[in-house]
Structure 1
Amino acid sequence: MLQSIVTLIVDTIAGLLAVVLLLRFWMQVVRVRPPMSVAHFTFKLSDWLVKPLRRIVPGAGGYDWASLLGAFLIALLSIIVTVWLFFPLSVQLVLLLSLLRFIQWIFYGFMGLIIVEVIFSWVNPHAPLAPFVGALTEPLLRPLRRVLPLIGNIDLSPLVALLLLQIGLRVVSAILPGMM
């Protein structure tokens, strides 16, 4: 019972921090300027970790690698607290589990962005955050839109992207048992 409570709390906090750190990195990758409220929330919640990490891993190529490293460190810490404390594992396995969780967060983040964009397109395509979310998902959907034609004036690229992300998530999750 204690383990499930600790896991719930740690996964919730770690997931929120990871989403913010990955969003911070992705906003720089796609060169999108977030709305002030999103920027303020993102930077306030992640500066405590990103700024010290920048001393170790400076930005290169215009990317904030400290944000990406921070997300991985959050994954590592969450695995240590939720798994390793209750079931001592080898350091290599803890690192592999952390990498898996990190990659899963990336896939889930992209899926969440696509779902939010789809909801905006159905409910209110002119919502203030719609262009921002659209800019974040465009690099994922653009290649699919080149291949998939509109069917009845409906864009199926988000559906295909979600399917491909689910497949990728399953492949990554299946790799770990094979490595053990």
Structure 2
Amino acid sequence: MTGLNTAAIYVIQTLGSLYLLIVLLRFILQMVRADFYNPMSQFIVRATQPLLRPLRKVIPGFGGVDLASLVLAILVQMLLMVITLILMGYGVGGFLLQVLIWAIIGVTSLFMKVFFFALIISVILSWVAPGTHNPAAELVNQICEPLLSPIRRILPNLGGLDLSPIFAFIALNLIDMLVINNLAAMTGMPKILSPFM
């Protein structure tokens, strides 16, 4: 593999993963019923609308879940993986089903990471800027709330100390270690595709 191929892989993975994150955020924001009028939400909607509009004509939502944005995330992930494998010198003709499985694993891993990092940001903001009304902070809290509220119902009230993020971190890490990493290993996912996880 030449240095030019390595540079191309780096650029494609970086820019493609950024767009993939935006598409997945569109799915998550609709799933958690985040504020549509938040400026961050508006940016995500505008960035994803050109590719989602035609997909929505053939893939309708179901039960409040935006299936078109989920399918778009998987397609973007697949495209990034195929380009990466081709630039690495692998043939992907007979492996498209396997690449689809790897793409689903990669999107699931990114889905978990979005919640993980949203929790980290939420915890930091609760220490340094509690009660802030910044649009990004409000969006982060809206993403975290569906994950934290069931844990808060189970945990006893500890006088203002919220331990629910700790249990959410544990749950997300266990799912990542025990499910996602094992699925990647079982399906023979190459190490070169690990940036997508």
Q: Normalised by the size of structure 2, how large is the TM-score?
A: 0.81
Give the CA deviation at 1:84: 4.1
Give the CA deviation at 1:152: 6.3
- The DSSP-based 3-state class of the residue aligned with 1:33 is coil
- Distance in 2 separating the partners of 1:178 and 1:48: 36
Give the CA deviation at 1:32: 2.1
- Distance in 1 separating the partners of 2:121 and 2:61: 29
Tell me if 1:56 matches 2:58.
yes
Identify the range of structure 1 (120-129 vs 45-54) with the bigger mean alpha-carbon deviation.
Answer: 120-129
Gap regions ≥5 residues in structure 1: none
Give the CA deviation at 1:153: 3.5
Q: 11, 14, 29: which one pairs with 1:12?
A: 14
Q: Normalised by the size of structure 1, how large is the TM-score?
A: 0.88
- State how many pairs are aligned: 180
Give the CA deviation at 1:15: 2.0
Taking structure 1 as reference, are residues 8 and 148 closer, same or farther at Cα in structure 2, changes over 3 Å only?
farther
- Distance in 1 separating the partners of 2:84 and 2:140: 32
Identify the range of structure 1 (66-75 vs 25-34) with the bigger mean alpha-carbon deviation.
Answer: 25-34
Q: Deviations over 1:55-108 (max 9, x none)?
A: 120223233211111111111011101124422242222112211111111011
Instruction: State the AA in 2 paired with 1:88.
Output: G
Instruction: State the AA in 1 paired with 2:24.
Output: L
Tell me if 1:132 matches 2:135.
no
- The DSSP-based 3-state class of the residue aligned with 2:131 is coil
- Distance in 2 separating the partners of 1:111 and 1:4: 29
Cα RMSD of the aligned pairs, angstroms, is 2.0
Q: Deviations over 1:103-159 (max 9, x none)?
A: 111011111211111121111122223333222211111122223335563212112
- The DSSP-based 3-state class of the residue aligned with 1:168 is helix
Gap regions ≥5 residues in structure 2: 189-197
- Distance in 1 separating the partners of 2:154 and 2:4: 50
- The residue number in structure 2 matching 1:163 is 170
- Distance in 1 separating the partners of 2:112 and 2:70: 14
Instruction: State the AA in 2 paired with 1:139.
Output: P
Taking structure 1 as reference, are residues 6 and 142 closer, same or farther at Cα in structure 2, changes over 3 Å only?
same
Equivalent pairs: percent with the same residue? 32
- The residue number in structure 2 matching 1:95 is 100
